[in-house]
Structure 1
Amino acid sequence: MRALRILLIIAVVLGGLFVAADRIAVGLAESEVAGKIKSTQGLSANPEVSINGFPFLTQVAGKELDEVDVTMDGVTASSAGRSLRITEMTAELRDVRLENNFSSATADRATGSAGISYADLSTASSEGVTVSYGGRDQSGKSQVKVTARVALLGRSFERSVISTVSVVDGDTIRLRADEIPGAGIPGLENLVRGKIDFDREISGLPQGLKLDKVVTTEKGVDISVVGDGVKLAG
């Protein structure tokens, strides 16, 4: 009985040491991945990285991680020659393969979300255009309110319209006005639409991620993202 108790104590101690070593290794790996993502995406601060699943060391030995969650702030994408700031992006990556002697990693699939404030969306729009919350139409489509000031025949016109916002081709945000108030004035509709109807292709996101759906909220535009073969680091 005494020998059995000693074996049990040893097993508990060794188990505790293994768990501790495993958690330390996870922390070091999360820090390393965060640094790589910061460098790759040009972030001002390290993102939050969580490597899930236990034991971690066994996953590393198999060169595949079950799940990695990443939260990034201040991602800047390019859009039609203008920079577009994404306030926060989250990504849940599954089946992450460790490659090139652990210097890079690729996730088989990923889901997540990205947020863009109306102020940042206005900055990425044409000059003199502001974008704000427009609610949803009767069918549930997301809408924004777009205000533009234009000059025509020596007169200044300001028009506010409700535009539908959507995702096109997995990389483009599209705004289209349903109707232009005062469109009976010759040339006014084309002039206003030239400012407020636009497509903004978003580039600079992590390789492999694509825009999926867009929803408007009072604070900004929320975009869901999906991807296959998403490059996590390297």
Structure 2
Amino acid sequence: MRALRILLIIAVVLGGIFVAADRIAVNMAESEAADKIKSSQGLSSTPEISIKGFPFLTQVVGKELDEVDVSLAGITATAGGRSVNVTEVKAELRSVRIDSSFSSAVADRADGSARISYADLTKAAPRGATVSYAGADRAAKGQVKVTGPLADLLEGAGISVPEAFKGMLNGRMVTTYSTVALKGGSTVQLKAESLPNLPVGLDDKLRRVVDYDMKIDGMPSSIKLDKVAATDGGLRFSGTGTNVSLAG
């Protein structure tokens, strides 16, 4: 019995050493991968990397990691010709294959998401327009709220207003609820559900302003975004990718 007890103690001690070594190794690998991604993607801040699965060292021997989660910050995109911030950029990578020199890795599949706040969406909207949360019911239908002074919206789009109507427009605010769609993985389309009652001829002019496309450039290209949802914090984009390079 005493010998058995000694063997159990040794096994526990060795197991603890292995676990400690395994955790040290995974922490070093996460740090190295973060630095490589920062360098290869030209990021202003270091991403957070979390390598899942245990033990890590046996995954390294097999040159395939079960799961790697990446969280990026400091991403900017160009929307409507203006620079906007992209927040909460995340990717969950599965079956990440490591090359023989451990210098790069490729994931069989990746699920990614990103969010653009309403404040940044407003920066990219037509002059005079403010984009905001439309409430839970309308957000569930993929809608956002677009508001602004009617005169500013029309003039900002270069639409001339007849003199007969200018007095009627002073101080007139308009509110529309626009459905958001994603086209081609990079273009956000907004289309108003309906328009307020306006003098004859102005409704078509306003429609040309509030229905607009906003092309987003600068998003991570390895994951194709194919879904967009309206949330209380902004528009959330999501998509998937295959054979996604983690670092190189």
- Return the TM-score normalized by structure 2: 0.82
- How many equivalent residue pairs? 233
- Give the match for residue 163 of structure 1: 178
2:31 pairs with 1:31: yes
- Give the match for residue 62 of structure 1: 62
Give me the whole-angstrom Cα distance separating, in 2, the residues matched to 1:168 and 1:79.
Answer: 14
Give me the whole-angstrom Cα distance separating, in 1, the residues matched to 2:101 and 2:205.
Answer: 56
Give me the whole-angstrom Cα distance separating, in 1, the residues matched to 2:140 and 2:38.
Answer: 37
1:212 to 220, 226, 238: 226
Structure 1 stretches lacking a partner, 5+ long? none
2:187 to 172, 185, 196: 172
- Give the match for residue 181 of structure 1: 196
Are the structure 2 counterparts of residues 125 and 100 from structure 1 closer, same or farther at C-alpha, using a change threshold of 3 Å? farther
Higher strand share: 1
Q: Within 5 A, what are the aligned runs for 1:44-59?
A: 44-59=44-59
Cα deviation for residue 83 of structure 1 reads 2.0
2:179 pairs with 1:191: no
Structure 2 stretches lacking a partner, 5+ long? 156-160
- Give the match for residue 85 of structure 2: 85
What percent identity do the matched residue pairs reach?
57
- Give the match for residue 98 of structure 1: 98
Cα deviation for residue 5 of structure 1 reads 4.2
Q: Which has the larger radius of gyration?
A: 2
Structure 1: which amino acid aligns with 2:235?
A: V
- Give the match for residue 20 of structure 2: 20
Give me the whole-angstrom Cα distance separating, in 2, the residues matched to 1:182 and 1:203.
Answer: 36
Are the structure 2 counterparts of residues 8 and 73 from structure 1 closer, same or farther at C-alpha, using a change threshold of 3 Å? same
- Give the match for residue 225 of structure 1: 239
Q: Residues 180-228 of structure 1, C-alpha deviation per residue, up to 9 Å, x if partnerless?
A: 3245532x34432333222223332333212232222222222223222
Give me the whole-angstrom Cα distance separating, in 1, the residues matched to 2:57 and 2:135.
Answer: 48
2:162 pairs with 1:153: yes
Give me the whole-angstrom Cα distance separating, in 2, the residues matched to 1:64 and 1:230.
Answer: 14
Cα deviation for residue 170 of structure 1 reads 2.7
RMSD of aligned alpha carbons: 2.5
Q: Residues 35-71 of structure 1, C-alpha deviation per residue, up to 9 Å, x if partnerless?
A: 2222333333222211000111111122211001122
Q: Residues 89-137 of structure 1, C-alpha deviation per residue, up to 9 Å, x if partnerless?
A: 2221111112372222221112232221100111122332210112366
Higher helix share: 2
Give me the whole-angstrom Cα distance separating, in 2, the residues matched to 1:147 and 1:42.
Answer: 36
Which segment is superposed worse, 193-202 or 12-21?
193-202
